[in-house]
Amino acid sequence: MADRVGMWKSLGMDVKAHDALCSMLPTAFGDVFLSQRNRPESMAFWDMVAADIHGMRPAELIEAQANGQKVFGAFCVYVPDEVILACDGIVTGLCGGSQFWVPAGEQMLPADVCPLIKASVGARISRTCPFFRIADLFVGETTCDGKKKAYEILAKDAPLYVMDTPQMKRQKDIDKWADEIRDFADEVQRVTGNQLTSENLAKAIKVTNDRRRALARVFEARKSRVAPISGADALLMMQISFFDDPVRCAEMCNRLADELERRIEQGVSAVPAGSKRILITGTPMAIPNWKLHHIVETCGAVVACEEMCTGTRSFENLVDETQTTLEGQFQALSQRYMKNNCACFTPNGGRIDDVIRLARTYQVDGVINANLTFCTTYKLEAPALERAVEEAGFPVLSIETGYSDGDSEQLRTRIGAFVEMLG
Ligand code: SF4
Ligand code: SF4
């Protein structure tokens, strides 16, 4: 293996603390993924990426920077990758999904902030995540109060640009988001030194749509009651898609989808017959947050779909590819991104409709509404969501949890009882 330690040192990382993080991952990965039986062979690619998660892709990004490309770190699926790709920039996810980073985040933030925010700030200030060291520009957004304030703290330590996300979905909000994308395009051009044109933006829209189409094919296969892939494997694929090159991501997802379609034809399942099918909805699960999927899938069920940003929200709805002017393309981008039903919007009935639609099309037996602790917006819309989903005929279990394993046994008891009740 290449000299990863030398690379991490050159990024100014705290290598000793980073060793402690790396020492935990193989056990966690082995417990959740390698212990599964009858996995699709194509998962070998994602296993390899996960095994070298702080090595392989960071090395590629550093090489790209040496060749003049710029790296943009994003915290939310609202950031329009297309504009960055069009200017020959690279996008990488920056959300922290490990409890390891939470204590460092709590040095800067109150304890009653959601773990995703604390881990993201902690990953930066503890100097233990290469992606947080490599990014030339962090791109934030005003989706929730916690993030807005965390960006002010991060901005003291890293170059940061914040996009002002609308909170409603009227036409004037869609126009406003198109305006924000236009301003962001100016910033991307300044950072990359490359000009945005309708031609390079059209190509980037196509590349990003192709990635969405490939992810959608994998999810399409998950609709089959054969269950050709576990929810944990699908989640891993999805989490890594935020870090990967979009062309390679599409290629690997299409390869996986080919295999899943063959498995469906042959009746090859990744889970025991009779496993109850679960849809999980809620806050995103950033890598390496595999806790809930692991518990569900070792309680006699399979996660068939995730209605969350590390799930259907990342690929549903394509950007119109027919626009030929920058103005038309900004509007098309805005229209696509504003279809995302995040709890930061009011009202957000579209999410309830999505959950019911997905519960039906993925043929699930029950729904788990999973919120990260201290996420107020998702918590506040939980009762209405539960009521509507139950009225549509799907049993619902609502849970609130963080990244720590402290509540794992309690969750196992509740989820086990829920799955048994479905039987
Ligand atoms: S849940 Fe909302 S704030 Fe979080 S990544 Fe999704 S769209 Fe962005
Ligand atoms: S999970 Fe909730 S509180 Fe945390 S960043 Fe997302 S929207 Fe904000």
Nearest-CA residue for ligand 1 atom 3 is: 143
Q: How many CB atoms lie within 10 A of CB 131?
A: 23
Ligand 2: distance of its center to the CA of 283 in Å?
Answer: 7
CA 47 to chain centre: 17
pLDDT of 19: 94
pLDDT of 101: 97
- Judge whether 370 and 309 are in contact, CB under 8 Å: no
pLDDT of 127: 97
Give 321: exposed, middle or buried? Use CB within 10 Å, 0-12, 13-18, 19+: exposed
pLDDT of 26: 87
What are 388-404's pLDDT values in tens digits?
999 999 999 999 999 99
Ligand 2: distance of its center to the CA of 247 in Å?
Answer: 29
Contacts of residue 3, Cβ cutoff 8 Å, sequence gap at least 6: none
Q: How many CB atoms lie within 10 A of CB 25?
A: 16
Test site for ligand 2: of 75, 78, 94, 117, most ligand atoms within 8 A of the Cβ: 117
Ligand 1: distance of its center to the CA of 167 in Å?
Answer: 12
Nearest ligand atom owner, CA of 381: 2
Q: Which amino acid does the sequence have at 254?
A: N
162/152 Cα distance (integer angstroms): 10
Nearest-CA residue for ligand 2 atom 4 is: 114
Strands (E), 99-224: 137-141, 160-163
Ligand 2: distance of its center to the CA of 12 in Å?
Answer: 28
Residue 116 CA: which ligand 1 atom is closest? 4
- Judge whether 378 and 398 are in contact, CB under 8 Å: no
pLDDT of 174: 98
Tell whether ligand 2 has an atom less than 6 A from the beta carbon of residue 105.
no
Nearest ligand atom owner, CA of 140: 1
Q: Helix (H, G, I), strand (E, B), or coil: what is residue 29? A: helix
- Bridge partners, 401 (sequence order): 372
Ligand 2: distance of its center to the CA of 102 in Å?
Answer: 14
Six-digit token pair at 242? Answer: 């935020």
95/91 Cα distance (integer angstroms): 13
Give 193: exposed, middle or buried? Use CB within 10 Å, 0-12, 13-18, 19+: exposed
- Judge whether 302 and 230 are in contact, CB under 8 Å: yes
Residue 344 CA: which ligand 2 atom is closest? 7
- Bridge partners, 138 (sequence order): 73, 160
Ligand 1: distance of its center to the CA of 5 in Å?
Answer: 33
Element (H, E) at 302: strand 301-307
410/197 Cα distance (integer angstroms): 54
Tell whether ligand 2 has an atom less than 6 A from the beta carbon of residue 137.
no
Q: Which residues line ligand 1 (CB under 6 A)?
A: 76-78, 143-144, 283-284, 309, 340, 342, 344
Nearest ligand atom owner, CA of 377: 2
What end-to-end distance do the CA atoms of the chain give, in Å? 48
Ligand 2: distance of its center to the CA of 285 in Å?
Answer: 11
339/359 Cα distance (integer angstroms): 19
400/179 Cα distance (integer angstroms): 36
Tell whether ligand 2 has an atom less than 6 A from the beta carbon of residue 144.
yes
pLDDT of 1: 54
Nearest-CA residue for ligand 2 atom 6 is: 283
Nearest ligand atom owner, CA of 141: 1
Ligand 2: distance of its center to the CA of 116 in Å?
Answer: 7
Give the angle subtended at the CA of 149 by the CAs of 14 and 113, to the nearest 5°.
75
Nearest-CA residue for ligand 1 atom 8 is: 76
Per-residue pLDDT of the chain (423 residues; tens, 9 = 90+): 578 999 999 999 999 999 999 998 888 999 999 999 999 999 999 999 999 999 999 999 999 999 999 999 999 999 999 999 999 999 999 999 999 999 999 999 999 999 999 999 999 999 999 999 999 999 999 999 999 999 999 999 999 999 999 999 999 999 999 999 999 999 999 999 999 999 999 999 999 999 999 999 999 999 999 999 999 999 999 999 999 999 999 999 999 999 999 999 999 999 999 999 999 999 999 999 999 999 999 999 999 999 999 999 999 999 999 999 999 999 999 999 999 999 999 999 999 999 999 999 999 999 999 999 999 999 999 999 999 999 999 999 999 999 999 999 999 999 999 999 998
- Bridge partners, 383 (sequence order): none
Residue 143 CA: which ligand 1 atom is closest? 3
